[in-house]
Structure 1
Amino acid sequence: MQSGVLPMIWTFLQDQVLGMKWLNSAIGSLLSALGLDITSRLGGSLQFFLYDVIKITILLCALIFLISYIQSYFPPERSKKIIGRFHGLGANCIAALLGTVTPFCSCSSIPLFMGFTSAGLPLGVTFSFLISSPMVDLGSLILLASIFGAKVAVTYVIVGLVIAVAGGSLIEALHMERHVEDFILNAGNVDIQAPTLTRRDRLTYAKEQMVGTFQKVFPYILVGVGIGAIIHNWIPEAWVETVLGSSNPFGVVLAVLVGVPMYADIFGTIPVAEALLSKGAQLGTILSFMMAVTTLSLPSMIMLRKAIKPRLLALFVAICTIGIILVGYFFNVIQFLFV
């Protein structure tokens, strides 16, 4: 009896709490009551758009508030001290894990990376942080679970952390410190004592982060959901299967190449991924696209170039690209375990 109750509870949490299927049904009923045929392309697109925008907005605000509250316990000074207590592979692992409670996009994590590097932390360790921060934050875990299920979300985070640790370790082994710009290396290490925050301070900080981040990413949510609605209701399934399905062995590579020039975050890419999956695209191909967009966006690379020299930047891009492609093919092979 008990063994049957737990799966039912988990399914309820998955479908109704994270997935908010009740919201989709409510929007469908409302549109139908207004005389719109939700089985038509236009009606289906509008239902998809409203449902995903509202769902992602609710999850976004709740997650940013919660994660920002947690993040208030890990200011840069404290994070630096935590990482500094570890050495070797352990330091890379801690840096990658700390990256999961930091900002949601690579442009936000690059200034922290620069600060850690200036403070004298090993270069490979700071790169483990830089890779993991936009790729596997806690927000991505919850949002991925709401769309693809908990098994996919947890596996995604694990392989993302593996890429971060492996990439940082490789950069450390190659001794690339001379390829960091001089102004970063010569900035020196200035310890500033972080003020003690009260619970009220932390709640205020979390609220400010929630509002600021929401204002910044909401346009990308609208664009992402709009693209997802078009794919979901207007692009023939055969087209998506041909380009990103199992019949195309280069689908993963294509998805990465398409994702790199874009600039978005996990919140803007998930609606596109959801629509592609429903049209027959392979799971690994979709996840590779998401990783490429969030980790290797062109604006982020331009910003990172100010801190590191071309050879190190090229190595960083190569490590991330190869890792993301391998992850894509890995998920495609084991997709039958999740779908």
Structure 2
Amino acid sequence: MEYLCSGYRELMEYLTLHTLTCLVPAFFIAGGIAVAVSSAAVLKYFGPTANKYVSYGVASVSGTVLAVCSCTILPLFAGIYRKGSGLGPAITFLYAGPAINLLAIVFTARLLGFDLGAGRAVGAVVFAVVIGLAMSVLYRREEAAKAGAAAAAGQGFNPAAGTGAGKPPAQTLAFFLILVAVLLAGSWGLPHLTYLAVLGGLLAALGLVLAVWFTREEVVEWLRETFTLGRLIVPVLLVGVFLAGALKAVVPDAWVAAAVGGNSLQANLLASVVGALMYFSTLTEVPLVKALLDMGMGKGPALALLLAGPALSLPNMLVIRNILGTKKALTYIGLVVVAATTTGMVFGRF
């Protein structure tokens, strides 16, 4: 029964600490993409025919702006992918969002040492691009078909699927800056009263932007798209959070620490797999790795866990399968685990 209690506690903690402050704003940002961003703009920067240097460059540093976890990134990923993004840039964004979290990298360097902080930063940026490119190459036929469909469609867009023309750049920027500020405010751990004051001011500003620059139809479409994404992601996500919590009770920390000492292939692979299965909310992976290092974990496996853990989780995997399908989801998961394992082994030799 302990694993059921552990899963329940994990689910309640997630609902209490993360859902309202992080996940809900992320859904509204993703829904806003369908209303405020034109299809042409998405295709220009992230589409299958977009300039690769621009699309992968922008996607690979996205995490420095969004302090999100592996689950909060999902609605944002689904939003740009459904809007027409190429698979490679979308996957780069999916990995980079939680992996290159600026707050987590700074925290890693301070708590675990500059070497692990730098290794995490460089490894995350490089692998975000490498994994995205690998997915694009492996599924290049589908990407070519997608590019052909986009070219045949030209600049047109189905009004039933959203406002294809998008909003003017200044209005779009103001809209998303406010929504991102709401997301960041919930991630920064502000004192309760301060958070409520900041949130109230941001919501008032959002209301003004909607009243002045958005039509009633656009607001309704925004809410409809947000609800659609929530219905797709939330049920699977909550089941995954429960299972990840149950896993904590099944696998003792002491056993994991003993198994990932040194710098062997087995230790790095195990750290990558365990990190990929566990759910880490933003920043929580750092103190866990610190504890494991104190118990004898090698630095190579520590970096492997830091690279695989924030970017993947059991809930994250289940939702990615819903969005991409089983084959692409398994390919992405495998690439992350292999990349993290390889990096850990190389890092552990220095």
Q: TM-score range by the shorter chain?
A: 0.5 to 0.7
Q: Distance in 2 between matches of 1:89 and 1:195?
A: 22
Tell me if the contact between 1:95 and 1:128 (Cα under 8 Å) persists in the aligned partners.
Answer: yes
Return the offset for 1:89.
4.5
Q: Identify if the C-alpha distance between structure 1 residues 305 and 103 changes in structure 2 by more than 3 Å, giving closer, same or farther.
A: farther
8 Å CA contact retained: 1:285, 1:329: yes
Structure 1 position 90, deviation (Å): 4.5
Aligned to 1:133: 97
RMSD: 4.2
Cα shift readout 1:300-319 (whole Å, capped 9, x = no counterpart): 11111121111111111111
What is the rounded CA distance, in whole Å, between the counterparts of 1:254 and 1:172 in structure 2?
Answer: 27
| Residue 113 of structure 1: aligned partner | 77
1:143 alignment partner in structure 2 = 107
- C-alpha change, 1:312 and 1:214, in structure 2 (3 Å) is same
Contact 2:300-2:348 within 8 A present in 1 as well = yes
Query: Does 1:157 find its partner at 2:121?
Result: yes
Structure 1 counterpart of 2:281? 265
Distance 2:174 2:321 in 1: 38
TM-score (norm 1): 0.59
- 2:62 aligns with one of 85, 98, 103: 98
Task: Please say if 1:317 is aligned against 2:333.
Answer: yes
Residue 193 of structure 1 aligns with which residue? Answer: 167
* Secondary structure at the counterpart of residue 263 of structure 1: coil
Following superposition, the deviation at residue 253 of structure 1 comes to 1.3
Structure 1 pair 205–93 and aligned structure 2 pair: CA distance change class (3 A): closer
Higher relative contact order (CA 8 A, sep 6+): 2
State the distance in 1 between where 2:297 and 2:69 align.
25
Counterparts of 2:142 and 2:267 in 1: how far apart (Å)? 37
Counterpart of 1:27 in structure 2 is none
Letter in 2 for 1:153: G
Q: How does 1:149-228 map to 2 (within 5 A)?
A: 149-175=113-139, 178=142, 190-193=164-167, 196=170, 208-213=182-187
Task: List alignment gaps of at least 5 residues for structure 2.
Answer: 1-21, 151-157, 190-240
Q: Given the alignment of the two structures, is residue 87 of structure 1 paired with residue 51 of structure 2, yes or no? A: yes
Distance (Å, rounded) in 2 between the aligned partners of 1:315 and 1:154: 27
Q: 1:285/1:208 Cα in 2 relative to 1: closer, same or farther (>3 Å)? A: same
Verify the 8 A CA contact 1:135 1:160 in the aligned structure 2.
Answer: yes
> How far, CA to CA, are the matches of 1:191 and 1:98 in structure 2?
24
Where does residue 294 of structure 1 map in the other structure?
A: 310
Q: Percent identity?
A: 24
| Contact 1:99–1:130 (Cα < 8 Å) also in 2 | no
Q: 1:165–1:195: structure 2 CA closer, same or farther, 3 Å change rule?
A: closer
Give the alignment's TM-score, normalised by structure 2. Answer: 0.58
The offset of 1:242, in angstroms, is 4.4
Secondary structure of 1:313's counterpart equals: helix
d(CA) in 2 for partners of 1:113 and 1:177? 21
> Which aligned runs of 4 or more in structure 1 are off by greater than 6 angstroms?
199-204
Q: Alpha-carbon deviation of 1:128?
A: 1.0
